[in-house]
Amino acid sequence: MLQALARQARNDIPGALASLQRALTLAEPEGYVRLFVDEGPPMASLLRAAAKQGITPSYVRRLLAAVNKTEDSMPVSQGLIEPLSERELDVLRLLGTDLGGPEIARELVVSLNTVRTHTKNIYAKLGVNNRRAAVRRAAELDLSRTGDRQPRRIVVRDP
């Protein structure tokens, strides 16, 4: 399974499907599901490709059903190596407004130093170095949606 994901990451889809077929053949008799589902969207796309090629059709259908059920009930994946905390998401949402640092601190009932620390962490996690780039990157990653909370709108401000 890991070989399949590694080959997929290198855009070797035929090799990825061959490795996945071997993993599915070994896993099917044992009925493993969680093992595949826990690998997330990359595995889901491989399973869809396997389904199109008719690789272990009934087992792949079962795995895809589990993937779809999990995707519907799980919080939105951030696609980051280190995901943003809920508080960092709150700060990020406010970075997309016209509020300055002191206003953001008042809005969140924290110190300006805390806002600066969260902002620094957000920049590092998103790989950006300014407010506008952070908001733009958040929009690319669709970080405006989070778990069970109300959808948040992130607005990219003009320079």
> What tens digit of pLDDT does each residue of 38-67 get?
888 889 999 999 999 999 999 999 999 888
Q: Are residues 152 and 102 in the same domain?
A: yes
Please say if the pLDDT value at position 154 is more than 90. no
Query: 117 to each of 87, 88, 122, how far by Cα in Å?
Result: 11, 9, 9
Report the C-alpha gap between 108 and 48 in whole angstroms: 43
Spell out the residues 6+ positions from residue 26 whose beta carbon is closer than 8 angstroms to its own. Answer: none
Q: Are residues 68 and 143 in the same domain?
A: no
For the chain, counts of helices (H) and of strands (E): 9, 0
Q: Are residues 109 and 138 in the same domain?
A: yes
Report the C-alpha gap between 133 and 138 in whole angstroms: 8
Report the C-alpha gap between 80 and 125 in whole angstroms: 7
